[in-house]
Amino acid sequence: MSMAADEPVIPKDARPGLRPLPSLIFGSRWLQLPLYLGLIVAQGVYVILFVKELWHLVLGSLKFTEQEIMLVVLGLIDVVMISNLLIMVIVGGYETFVSRLELERHPDQPEWLSHVNASVLKIKLAMAIIGISSIHLLRVFIYAGNLGRPGETTPYTETGVMWQVIIHALFVLSAMGIALVEKIGQSAYTTGSKAHH
C-alpha cells in the first residue's frame, strides 16, 4: 500500500485556518458578488426589452414587410444571445472566481459548467461575442443591398459596413488566438506532468 493510503484523513473542522492576511485576501473574492447580482438585474432588463420587441413584432405583423420582420427577429435573437452571454458570465464567473455552486446533483446543471475554468470560460465568451457580432453583421447585410441605390435610405455607409466586417474578422482571429494559446498551454502542462511522473 502507498503512504498516501496510510495517512489519516483530517476532518474539515480540524484543519488549520488561514492566517489573517491570506484570509483577508482570499475573502476579498466576495467583493465580486454585487457585480454578479448587478448582472442579474441587467438580465431582467433584457427580458423586459425582449418582451417589448416581441409585442412590437406581434402588433406589426400584418403591416410589416418581410425585411422589417426579419430585422425585428434578428433583434430578438441578438437579445437572447446577449442574455446567454450574461448567464455564462454570471454562473461561470461566480463558480470560477467566487464560490462553488454545488450543482453536481442538480438535474438542470449546464453541461459546460461541469468542466468550467478560467480558460474554458474565456473561449466560451469569445465564441458568444462572435455569435453576437454575426447577428449584427447579418442585420447590416440586410441593409447593404440598398447601398448606393438612388432614392433608397439606409442607416449604414459603405465605410461603416467595411469597418464592421473588419471588426468581426478581428473578433474571429482573437478567438482563434485565445484557443490556440490555451491549447499550447494545455499541451505544455500535460507534457510537464508526464515528465514529473
Average pLDDT over residues 37-43: 95
Tens digits of residue pLDDT in 128-147: 888 888 888 888 877 776 66
Answer yes or no: is pLDDT of 3 > 50.
Answer: no
Average pLDDT over residues 60-73: 85
Task: Let me know whether 101 and 66 are in one domain.
Answer: yes
Among 111-115, 147-151, 162-166, whose mean pLDDT is lowest? 147-151
Task: Let me know whether 171 and 130 are in one domain.
Answer: yes
Average pLDDT over residues 38-55: 94
Picking from 69, 43, 44, the residue whose alpha carbon sits closest to that of residue 56 is 69
Whether residue 8 lies inside any domain: the answer is no
Task: Let me know whether 126 and 50 are in one domain.
Answer: no
Domain termination residue (choose one: 70, 105, 140):
105
What was the pLDDT predicted at 36? Answer: 92
Whether residue 93 lies inside any domain: the answer is yes
Cα–Cα distance measured from residue 102 to residue 97, given in angstroms and rounded to the nearest whole number: 14
pTM, two decimal places: 0.69
What was the pLDDT predicted at 2? Answer: 46
- Higher pLDDT, residue 182 or 153: 182
Whether residue 55 lies inside any domain: the answer is yes
- In the structure, what pLDDT confidence band is assigned to residue 188 with cuts at 50, 70 and 90? low
Task: Let me know whether 97 and 126 are in one domain.
Answer: no
Task: Let me know whether 121 and 96 are in one domain.
Answer: no
Cα–Cα distance measured from residue 64 to residue 15, given in angstroms and rounded to the nearest whole number: 67
Whether residue 87 lies inside any domain: the answer is yes
Whether residue 67 lies inside any domain: the answer is yes
Residue 64 φ/ψ region, left for φ over 0, alpha for ψ in the -120 to 50 degree band, beta for the rest: beta
Whether residue 163 lies inside any domain: the answer is yes
Task: Let me know whether 140 and 96 are in one domain.
Answer: no
What was the pLDDT predicted at 50? Answer: 95
Average pLDDT over residues 73-99: 87
Whether residue 10 lies inside any domain: the answer is no
Domain count within the chain: 2
Task: Let me know whether 142 and 99 are in one domain.
Answer: no
Task: Let me know whether 125 and 193 are in one domain.
Answer: yes
- Higher pLDDT, residue 47 or 143: 47
Answer yes or no: is pLDDT of 158 > 70.
Answer: yes
Domain termination residue (choose one: 55, 81, 105):
105
Whether residue 3 lies inside any domain: the answer is no
Task: Let me know whether 92 and 132 are in one domain.
Answer: no
**Structural domain range at position 63:** 20-105
Cα–Cα distance measured from residue 77 to residue 141, given in angstroms and rounded to the nearest whole number: 16
Please provide the average confidence, as pLDDT, over all residues in the chain: 79
CA-based torsion, 144, 146, 148, 152: positive or negative: negative
Task: Let me know whether 126 and 59 are in one domain.
Answer: no
